[in-house]
Structure 1
Amino acid sequence: MEDALSTVLKHLGELKRPYLTAVEEKLLSVIEKEYGIIDEMPYSFSINQGLGENSNAKY
């Protein structure tokens, strides 16, 4: 991976806030698409979806 991309990913991983700005999110999306790392999970995915009998589990 190119040095510039490694630096960007390192920076995003060191952020102290629990969210990405729109620009950061778009940049990460471009990198993921370029390297074939696509997150197929929809944003509306609930942590309790698909857990079957354990859907009432507490986290």
Structure 2
Amino acid sequence: MLYWSLVALVIAVIAAVLGFGGIAGTAAGIAKILFWIFLVIFLVVLVMNFLGRRGPTV
């Protein structure tokens, strides 16, 4: 538990530096790009999962 709280603290400090440092627009742009990339990856994996399923073999 202590480990995860320290990880959250480090992430919060990094987010504060990015937010207060004037490069928040750049960080937001990167976040938007990553969102779309992971959304596409999610959809591809979802489609592959449905296409890969087959009925029970007898």
The higher-RCO structure (CA 8 Å, 6+ apart) is: 1
> Into which bin does the TM-score normalised by the smaller protein fall?
under 0.3
Which structure has the highest helix share of the two? 2
Q: Max radius of gyration: which structure?
A: 2
TM-score, length of structure 2 as denominator length: 0.27
